Amino acid sequence: MNRRTFVASAANLAAAGVASRAVDAWPQPPQTQRLPFIKPRRLTAGDSVALVAPASATFNTMELEIAKESLEALGLKVQVGGHLLDRHGYLAGQDRDRADDINRFFADTTIRAVLPVRGGWGSSRLLPYLDYEVIRRNPKIVLGYSDITALLLGIFARTGLITFHGPNGMGRWDEFSVGWVKRILFDAEAVTLENPREKGEFLVQTENRTQTLTPGAARGRLLGGNLTVLSAIIGSPYLPDWENSVLFLEDVGEDLYRVDRMLTTLKLAGVLAKIRGFVFGTCSECEPGSGYGSLTMEEIFNDHIKPLKVPAWQGAMIGHRMPQFALAEGLEVEIDAVACRIRMLQPAVT
């Protein structure tokens, strides 16, 4: 089942939930306000970390074993959430149970990071059930991407805790991705992120190329993630203030007209008017789809991003099915849209 099916199913569940609101009403949080940011403590060998499942169910226990062994190879001790292998349809258990694992691990003073095992769909459903006061009082590293975007942005918006867009627990722990995780989360470096420049056997670089959309440099809080997930929670109180931000985006498996539609949503919601800079990673398997024709990604960016006249570039190592950067959500950065790099202005962990 792909993410569009997940989202459609979730919409049906939400519609059904209107009729039964008295049975299981979501808590109503206060409106988002801009909070001082909080840094989690860096990781060191011997620290205990926790695997949780905020989104889709995990059916393959071998993948879970690989995730656990990968973290142990980093010198970490791994605990597993009590509901990690639960299943409620395509979800990894009931919403309150999945949220409870996260709340319990944040309250546990022996745990230094809370790491989602995978994305898919479901993180948005947890946002009303998280204990943001416990999270704020016990800052820990949260690392993930794709559907985990909702968790990263929701936690940052409600607490000010810097969160991290990078490999999921069952994601790619290749040399490139692990290198950034070590430098940012273990060594507390304020790194400059840029794609490798290797040509390999070719005359010019053909892989991991970048492209300037609008030249220039900009500073701002780095915020973003998966475009589909982000656009789906627009208007909720689980998104941060976008004023003076650098927006980064990525996606997978979306027809190009959907990418156009989602960027239009960000425009109509006023998000794009507030940003100081823009970085796009990859849109893996994003095809024209059926019909009379399609805009290209370049034309979509020409319509939505270039008119903003803010520094912008595409091709960053941010996305699905590839080695990827680790990015600190909410941290002040500087981007150079000609050199195509992101520079952290301070460490993201203490």
Give the pLDDT score at 16.
42
- Final residue of a domain: which of 186, 210, 244? 186
Three-state DSSP at 24 gives: coil
Instruction: Give residue 198's pLDDT band: very low, low, confident or very high (50, 70, 90).
Output: confident
* pLDDT band at 29; cut points 50, 70, 90: low
- Residue 161 in tokens: 């805790």
- pLDDT for 25 equals 52
Indicate whether 162 and 47 sit together in one domain: yes
User: Is residue 138 domain-resident?
Assistant: yes
Residue ending a domain, among 132, 151, 186, is 186
Partners of 49 in the β-ladder: 78, 113
* pLDDT of the residue at 77: 98
Task: Quote the pLDDT of residue 12.
Answer: 47
Q: Where do the H-state alpha helices sit in 108-146?
A: 123-126, 132-137
The pTM of this model reads: 0.89
d(Cα 268, Cα 320) in Å, to the nearest integer?
27
Residue 1 has pLDDT above 90, yes or no: no
* Average pLDDT over every residue of 15-34: 48
Considering the candidates 83, 304, 320, 334, report the single residue annotated as catalytic.
320
For residues 176 and 257, state if they share a domain: no
Instruction: Check whether 254 has a pLDDT greater than 50.
Output: yes
pLDDT at 33 over 80: no
Give yes or no: 320 in active site: yes
d(CA 107, CA 105): 5
Pick from 28-32, 72-76, 109-113, 217-221: least confident: 28-32
CATH number, domain of 300, equals 3.50.30.60
Q: What is the pLDDT of residues 301-332, one digit of tens each?
A: 999 999 999 999 999 999 998 899 999 999 99
For residue 200, pLDDT over 90 is answered with no
Sign of the four-CA dihedral 11, 13, 15, 21: negative
Q: Is residue 98 part of a domain?
A: yes
Collapsed DSSP state (helix, strand, coil) of residue 92: coil
Q: Which of 8-12, 157-161, 266-270, 336-340 has the lowest mean pLDDT?
A: 8-12
**Residue range of the domain that includes 331:** 192-344
Structure tokens at 163: 């969160």
Average pLDDT over the chain, rounded to an integer: 91
Establish if 41 belongs to a structural domain. Answer: yes
Residue of 123, 124, 146, 177 marked active site: 146
Q: What is the pLDDT of residue 143?
A: 98
Give the span between the Cα atoms of 14 and 12, in whole angstroms: 5
Is the pLDDT at 22 greater than 60? The verdict is: no
Residue 166 DSSP one-character state? S
For 42-60, write each residue's pLDDT tens digit. 999 999 999 999 999 988 8
Helix (H, G, I), strand (E, B) or coil at 327: strand
CA dist 234 and 178 (Å) reads: 32
Claim to verify: residue 180 and residue 202 sit in the same structural domain: no
Q: Is the pLDDT of residue 346 over 90?
A: yes
* Domain limit, last residue, from 165, 186, 207: 186
Q: What is the pLDDT of residues 263-314, one digit of tens each?
A: 999 999 999 999 999 999 989 888 776 666 789 999 999 999 999 999 999 9
Same domain, 231 and 146: no
Q: Find the CATH number of the domain harbouring 67.
A: 3.40.50.10740
Query: Considering its fold, how many domains does the chain have in total?
Result: 2
The DSSP letter of residue 246 is E
- Asked whether residue 196 carries a pLDDT value surpassing 80, the answer given is yes
Compute the Cα dihedral for 237, 241, 242, 246 and give only its sign.
negative
| Selected catalytic residue, list 177, 250, 304, 329 | 250
Residue 194 forms beta bridges with which residues?
341
Confidence at residue 206, expressed as pLDDT on a 0 to 100 scale: 82
Q: Which residue has the tokens 């607490």?
A: 159
Residue 146 annotated among the catalytic residues of the structure: yes
